[in-house]
Amino acid sequence: MSAEAGTMDQFIARQPILDLNKRIFGYELLYRGRPDRMLGQVSGEQATASLLSSSFLTGDIEVISNNRLCFINFTQDLLEKNLPLNFPKTKIVVEILEDVEPTPEVIAVCRALKEKGYTLALDDFVYRKKLEPLLELVKIVKIDVRLTPLNTLTRTLNLLKHHNVKLLAEKVETKAEYVLANRLGFSYFQGYFFCKPEQVRISEISSIKLNLLRLLGEVTSNEIELERLRDIISSDVAITFKLFRFLNSAYFYLLQKVESVKHAVALLGMKELRRFCLLVIISELATDKPDELVRLVLVRAKFCELLGNSVALPESECANLYMIGLFSLLDAMLDIPMHEILEKLPVNGVVKNTLVREASVYLDFLHLVEAIERNQQKNCRRLQDNFLLTDNQVQSFYIEAAKYANHLF
Q: How confident is the model at residue 218 (pLDDT cuts 50, 70, 90)?
A: confident
In order of 62, 162, 216, 252, 257, the CA distances from 234 in angstroms are 36, 59, 15, 21, 18
Cα gap 358→360, rounded to integer Å: 6
User: In the chain, pLDDT over 70 holds for what percent of residues?
Assistant: 85
Q: What is the pLDDT of residues 242-293, one digit of tens each?
A: 777 777 665 565 666 777 778 777 777 778 888 888 888 898 889 889 999 9
Number of C-alpha atoms within 13 angstroms, CB side, residue 255? 0
Phi, psi (5° rounding) for residue 303? -60, -50
Q: What is the pLDDT of residue 5?
A: 35
Q: How confident is the model at residue 42 (pLDDT cuts 50, 70, 90)?
A: very low
Q: What is the pLDDT of residue 251?
A: 58
Number of C-alpha atoms within 13 angstroms, CB side, residue 364? 14
As a CATH number, domain 207-408 is: 1.10.3210.10
Q: What is the pLDDT of residues 359-407, one digit of tens each?
A: 999 999 999 999 999 888 889 989 999 999 988 899 899 999 998 998 8
As a CATH number, domain 12-195 is: 3.20.20.450
Q: What is the pLDDT of residues 328-355, one digit of tens each?
A: 999 999 888 999 899 888 889 999 999 9
Q: What is the 3-state secondary structure (H, E, C) of 273-308?
A: HHHHHHHHHHHHHCCCCCHHHHHHHHHHHHHHHHHH
Lowest pLDDT segment from 22-31, 45-54, 221-230, 283-292? 45-54
- Spans of all domains in the chain: 12-195, 207-408
Residue 59 has pLDDT above 60, yes or no: no
Whether 333 contacts 282, CB under 8 Å = yes
DSSP 11-42: -EEEEEEE-TTS-EEEEEEEE--BTTB-GGGS
Residue 235: CB atoms within 10 A of its CB come to 11
